[in-house]
Structure 1
Amino acid sequence: MSVPAFIDITEEDQASELRAYIKGKGAEISEENSPEGLHMDLTQIIDACDVCLQDDDKDAESVMNSIVSLLLILETEKQEALVQRLCEKLVQFREGERPSLRMQLLSNLFHGMDENSPARYTVYCSLIKVASACNAIAFIPTDLDQVRRWIVDWDLDTEKKHTLLRLLYEALVDCKKSETAAKVMVELLGSYTEDNASQARLDAHRCIVNALKDPTTFLFDHLLALKPVRFLEGELIHDLLTIFVSGKLSAYVKFYQSNKDFVDSLGLLHEQNTVKMRLLTFLSMAVELQEISFDTMEQELQIGAEEVEAFVIEAVRTKMVHSKIDQTQRKVVVSYSTYRTFGRPQWQQLHENLTSWKQKLSSVKTSLQTLTTT
């Protein structure tokens, strides 16, 4: 990727032009180039470049891109410290101080660097921070497969890997990208081992709360398998998660009555929890029964007879269950329901279903072949 330059002149003259421009904007910097060369010139220019980011000067973009261009031609060993320096400048801004320009500069820097350069880690983390601050996470690459490749390419240690994934998760949550955020958090928690799972207690706690809070998330059994989540066994947050994984509405109501202050302290709304648990309870019933009477619905879901139809309509809209209402016989007829948990019994049932379908298809094929030969 080519990065826009300030002007087509030598690096030394370009540095001199940058010094003069920045000084003219009020920065404390000498117009004379440093005798120590381009590296020191850039150090001083980056330290003074704040003046280019604080107003709508039409030349600021070209000036800053010129700094990026010069930075990219430095030797790798001299480049990393200055990359860190520039990133700190671009991340530290107040509302209204040209966040789109900062994102563009970081993007130019990121894509202009060698793909395997470890310094790209610093740039990417900074890009996430700026994108999160201005609700623009959709404009930077966040595909989890790509992030995994970068983690390998940049040879990140465990701490940096966790920092990157945590930053990305928080930015996605802030920008209301809950589905992608959940995948990133699972990736983060899944990277812990038995030896360091206890260090992820806060992440595991936050993951559970955000998953329960998200109105579009209904399946949670995969969280119980994560080592940091297993580390929370015996705590109230783990008990609450277990109810959402496999419990019924009555179990949640009982838990809430005994632990109201705890649930409220998590920022979870009892009314929303009740709505979600009502649907999850219905899913469990629908897996076990093809026909569910209104009386059973009213009792298990704690709703009135007049609410059954509206509830079923909302449940079908989630596409997690297919069912019809038989008003005459006062029952709900289920044709399909999503499993809340998918363990060995469900895999066994799937194997049996696929085997049965295979046998039936084989039988149909044999019958067709017989017909074509007669």
Structure 2
Amino acid sequence: MLLIPDLCDVLEQNTAAELRSYLKAKGAEISEENSEGGLHIDLAQIIEVCDICLKEDDKDVESIMNSVVSLLLILEPDKQEPLIESLCEKLAKSREGESPTLRLQLLSNLFHGMDKSTPVRYTVYCALVKVAATCGGISYIPTDLDQVRKWISDWNLNSEKKHVLLRLLYEALVDSKRSDDAAKVMVELLGSYTDDNASHARLDAHKCIVRALKDPKTFLLDHLLALKPVKFLEGELIHDLLTIFVSAKLSSYVKFYQNNKDFIDSLGLSHEQNTEKMRLLTFMGMAVENKEISFDTMQQELQIGADDVEAFIIDAVKTKMVYCKIDQTQKKIIVSHSTHRTFGKQQWQQLYDILNSWKLNLSKVKNSLQSISEA
């Protein structure tokens, strides 16, 4: 009986042969004849030399490389992984004359074409983040932390791979000036360490603290103290500095700076910016405890002149961390609300009391309305 080859197999063989021919014409050291070992051998040889065409401005390059991706996606899963890793290594490298946009698009096609739970998707995503970081394209790839957490679970990543992924994502977000998103990723990274390996995250913890202090939009820092890698830094100057920004007053920072000026400079922090942030943090603490604050107290605690009080209050209100108004006649600040610098057991109790009070008041209103309705 005559056996007719499967049409799909014929198409795959023809595509592989065309890719070989194209790469050969571009100067690659590859045979134009398909191997006898099967498609995965052909693809291994094609991927080995495919970077020769990435520098080409030829409109066919994208089509050629997408053909490689398409063949990869139809391979048996057990043969995919080493080839995908090899292709990602090629595409993640930044070489002069190559288009990062094309490499980003190819990796994106590969990533979205794979089964969502395939572990090797981790390799593709890491390559995506690396390339996106080189061309300002991080906004074009998925970076939502909830989604990343789900992928980490779906791909069953070990601790080392999880840390690599989060660290790559953090650096890319920082480079893209997305400080809020970067901070969330760093907290996720540091929070994934345990007592056993917290010491390994020393550099990450140090970097996290410095960038949080440097960020002009970050004022609440107490959550960092609870992270195990940050706790590991207790007794060091960086931890002492963080503690000051979490709960101390401006005077404490000034004293710390006077004793450790070289250390502050070595961190790349601006003393002037630190002072301004500590003024606001000190005022937030004052505003939580006092609904009225005199100009004299403001000048003393914040180390500013009488003429600077009004300008300071305007800047403080702009941060939305404090809501207050100025009483020029009586020379005092009237506070309507201030964000707590730290949120511990005492603050949770206060919140519980407030919500419980609202609940009781709503119950009274409900009973009153029922009485009126029945009457």
TM-score by structure 2 length?
Answer: 0.95
Q: Which residue in 2 is equivalent to 1:115? A: 116
User: Is the partner of 2:325 in helix, strand or coil?
Assistant: strand
Q: Which residue in 2 is equivalent to 1:141? A: 142
Q: Which residue in 2 is equivalent to 1:87? A: 88
The Cα offsets for residues 256-290 of structure 1, whole Å up to 9 and x where unpaired, read as 11111111111111111111111101100000000
Pick which of 355-364 and 77-86 moved more: 355-364
In 1, Cα distance between the equivalents of 2:65 and 2:89?
A: 14
In 1, Cα distance between the equivalents of 2:317 and 2:352?
A: 26
Q: Which residue in 1 is equivalent to 2:297? A: 296
In 2, Cα distance between the equivalents of 1:348 and 1:113?
A: 49
Q: Which residue in 2 is equivalent to 1:244? A: 245
Q: Which runs of 5+ in 1 are unaligned?
A: 1-7
Q: Which residue in 2 is equivalent to 1:215? A: 216
In 1, Cα distance between the equivalents of 2:111 and 2:220?
A: 36
Q: Which residue in 2 is equivalent to 1:279? A: 280
Deviation, 1:179, is: 0.7
Q: Which amino acid aligns with 2:204?
A: D
In 1, Cα distance between the equivalents of 2:44 and 2:276?
A: 57
Deviation, 1:161, is: 0.9
In 2, Cα distance between the equivalents of 1:372 and 1:331?
A: 48
In 2, Cα distance between the equivalents of 1:111 and 1:238?
A: 42
The Cα offsets for residues 168-189 of structure 1, whole Å up to 9 and x where unpaired, read as 1111111111111111111111
Q: Which residue in 2 is equivalent to 1:195? A: 196
| C-alpha contact 1:91 1:130 (8 A) present in aligned 2 | yes
Q: Which residue in 1 is equivalent to 2:5? A: none
User: Is the partner of 1:203 in helix, strand or coil?
Assistant: helix
- Residues 1:161 and 2:162 are matched in the alignment: yes
The Cα offsets for residues 20-69 of structure 1, whole Å up to 9 and x where unpaired, read as 11121222222111222211211111111112211321111000000000
Deviation, 1:133, is: 1.0
In 2, Cα distance between the equivalents of 1:80 and 1:264?
A: 47
In 2, Cα distance between the equivalents of 1:316 and 1:115?
A: 46
The Cα offsets for residues 118-167 of structure 1, whole Å up to 9 and x where unpaired, read as 11010000001001111111111111111111111111111111111111
In 1, Cα distance between the equivalents of 2:97 and 2:373?
A: 75
Q: Which residue in 1 is equivalent to 2:68? A: 67
Deviation, 1:94, is: 3.0
In 2, Cα distance between the equivalents of 1:133 and 1:104?
A: 14
User: Is the partner of 1:10 in helix, strand or coil?
Assistant: helix
Q: Which amino acid aligns with 1:314?
A: D
In 1, Cα distance between the equivalents of 2:120 and 2:237?
A: 41
Pick which of 26-35 and 168-177 moved more: 26-35
In 1, Cα distance between the equivalents of 2:92 and 2:169?
A: 15
In 1, Cα distance between the equivalents of 2:361 and 2:302?
A: 39
Pick which of 203-212 and 363-372 moved more: 363-372
Deviation, 1:363, is: 2.1
Deviation, 1:113, is: 1.1
Q: Which amino acid aligns with 2:233?
A: L
The Cα offsets for residues 221-267 of structure 1, whole Å up to 9 and x where unpaired, read as 00000111101000000000000100111111111111111111111
Q: Which amino acid aligns with 1:144?
A: L
In 2, Cα distance between the equivalents of 1:221 and 1:158?
A: 25
Q: Which amino acid aligns with 2:313?
A: V
Deviation, 1:362, is: 2.0
Q: Which amino acid aligns with 1:13?
A: N
In 1, Cα distance between the equivalents of 2:353 and 2:274?
A: 35
User: Is the partner of 2:324 in helix, strand or coil?
Assistant: strand
In 1, Cα distance between the equivalents of 2:113 and 2:64?
A: 17
Q: Which residue in 2 is equivalent to 1:4? A: none
- Residues 1:372 and 2:357 are matched in the alignment: no
Q: Which residue in 2 is equivalent to 1:171? A: 172
User: Is the partner of 1:336 in helix, strand or coil?
Assistant: strand
User: Is the partner of 2:269 in helix, strand or coil?
Assistant: coil
In 1, Cα distance between the equivalents of 2:301 and 2:40?
A: 71
Deviation, 1:370, is: 3.0
In 1, Cα distance between the equivalents of 2:216 and 2:55?
A: 39
| C-alpha contact 1:55 1:98 (8 A) present in aligned 2 | no
- 4+ residue segments displaced more than 4 Å: none
- Residues 1:338 and 2:360 are matched in the alignment: no
- Residues 1:328 and 2:329 are matched in the alignment: yes
Q: Which runs of 5+ in 2 are unaligned?
A: 1-8
Q: Which residue in 1 is equivalent to 2:349? A: 348
User: Is the partner of 1:335 in helix, strand or coil?
Assistant: strand
Deviation, 1:369, is: 2.8
Q: Which amino acid aligns with 2:296?
A: D
- Identity between Structure 1 and Structure 2 (%): 73
In 1, Cα distance between the equivalents of 2:371 and 2:261?
A: 68
Q: Which amino acid aligns with 1:177?
A: R
Structure 1 residues 210, 96: closer, same or farther in 2, change over 3 A? farther
